[in-house]
Amino acid sequence: MQRYPNVHHFLEHSAEVRCDSPAIVHGDKSWNYGEVEARSNRLANLLIGRGIEPGDRVALLTDNGIEYIVGLFGILKAGACVVALSNANKPRTNSKLLEDSGAVALITRALTVRRDLPDLIAGLKNLRLVVLDRAGPWLDPSGGVEVVAGQDLMVFPTLRPGLAIKPENLALILYTSGSTGMPRGVTLTHGNLTANTSQILDYLKLTEKDSVLAVLPFHYSFGNSLLMTHFAVGGRLVLDNRFAYPQTILETMQSQAVTGFSGVPSTYAILCAKTDFLEAPLPGLQYLTQAGGAMAPSLIRRIHEAFHDRARLFVMYGQTEASARLSYVPPEMLEQKLGSIGVPIPGVELELRSDDGRKCEVGEVGELVARGENIMGGYWNDPEETRLVLRGGELFTGDLGRLDEDGYFFLVDRKKNMIKVGANRVSSREVEDALVEIDGVVEACVVGAPDELLGEAIIAHVALHHDSQLDKKKIIAFLHKGLAQFKIPRKIIFHTELPKNSSGKVMKNYLKNIN
Higher pLDDT, 409 or 508: 409
Give 515's contacts (C-beta < 8 A, 6+ positions apart): 447, 449, 459, 491, 493
C-alpha torsion 500→504→507→511, nearest 10: 50
In the chain, what are the domain boundaries? 8-187, 422-511
The residue among 107, 141, 150 whose CA lies nearest residue 122 is 141
* Residue 1 pLDDT grade (very low, low, confident, very high; cuts 50, 70, 90): low
Q: Is 112 in a helix, a strand, or coil?
A: helix
The residue among 65, 40, 3 whose CA lies nearest residue 237 is 65
In angstroms, what is the C-alpha Rg of the chain? Answer: 23
**For residue 65, what is the DSSP state?**
S
Q: What is the mean pLDDT of residues 231-257?
A: 97
Residue 140's pLDDT is 59
CB-neighbour burial class of residue 471 (10 A; exposed 0-12, middle 13-18, buried 19+): exposed
Res. 139: pLDDT tops 70: no
Q: What is the mean pLDDT of residues 470-489?
A: 90
Q: What pLDDT, in 10s, does the model give residues 292-301?
A: 988 889 999 9
* Euclidean distance between CA atoms 331 and 310, whole angstroms: 12
H-only helix segments in 122-245: 190-204, 221-233
> What are residue 85's phi and psi, to 5 degrees?
-115, 155
H-only helix segments in 275-363: 297-307
Side-chain half-sphere of 58: how many Cα atoms within 13 Å?
A: 30
* Euclidean distance between CA atoms 161 and 47, whole angstroms: 11
Strands (E), 430-506: 441-451, 455-464, 491-495
In this prediction, what percent of the chain has a pLDDT beyond 70?
97
* Euclidean distance between CA atoms 174 and 176, whole angstroms: 6
Residue 179's pLDDT is 45
Beta carbons within 10 angstroms of residue 483's beta carbon? 18
Residue 142's pLDDT is 55
Cross-strand pairs, 449 = 457
Give 198's contacts (C-beta < 8 A, 6+ positions apart): 1, 3, 232, 347
Res. 135: pLDDT tops 80: no
* Euclidean distance between CA atoms 212 and 505, whole angstroms: 20
Cross-strand pairs, 214 = 239
Cross-strand pairs, 327 = 317, 344
Give 486's contacts (C-beta < 8 A, 6+ positions apart): 421, 422, 424, 426
Q: Is 113 in a helix, a strand, or coil?
A: helix
Cross-strand pairs, 359 = 353
Residues 443 and 497: beta-carbon distance below 8 Å:
yes
* Residue 486 pLDDT grade (very low, low, confident, very high; cuts 50, 70, 90): confident
* Overall residue count recorded for the chain in this entry: 515
Helix axes 265-274, 246-255, angle to 10 degrees: 90
Residues 326 and 350: beta-carbon distance below 8 Å:
yes
* Euclidean distance between CA atoms 225 and 330, whole angstroms: 19
* Residue 145 pLDDT grade (very low, low, confident, very high; cuts 50, 70, 90): confident
Res. 66: pLDDT tops 70: yes
Q: Is 473 in a helix, a strand, or coil?
A: helix
Residues 239 and 64: beta-carbon distance below 8 Å:
yes
Res. 374: pLDDT tops 90: yes
* Euclidean distance between CA atoms 182 and 175, whole angstroms: 10
Higher pLDDT, 151 or 374: 374
Q: What pLDDT, in 10s, does the model give residues 319-343?
A: 999 999 999 999 999 999 999 999 9
Q: Which CATH architecture has domain 422-511?
A: 2-Layer Sandwich (3.30)
CB-neighbour burial class of residue 469 (10 A; exposed 0-12, middle 13-18, buried 19+): exposed
Helix axes 8-17, 66-77, angle to 10 degrees: 110
Res. 455: pLDDT tops 80: no
Residues 106 and 76: beta-carbon distance below 8 Å:
no
Res. 24: pLDDT tops 60: yes
Q: What is the mean pLDDT of residues 462-482?
A: 91
* Residue 88 pLDDT grade (very low, low, confident, very high; cuts 50, 70, 90): confident
- Return the CATH fold of 8-187: Rossmann fold (3.40.50)
* Residue 133 pLDDT grade (very low, low, confident, very high; cuts 50, 70, 90): confident
Residue 180's pLDDT is 45
How does the average pLDDT of the chain come out, rounded? 92
Among 237-251, 347-361, 430-444, 451-465, which is the least confidently predicted range?
451-465
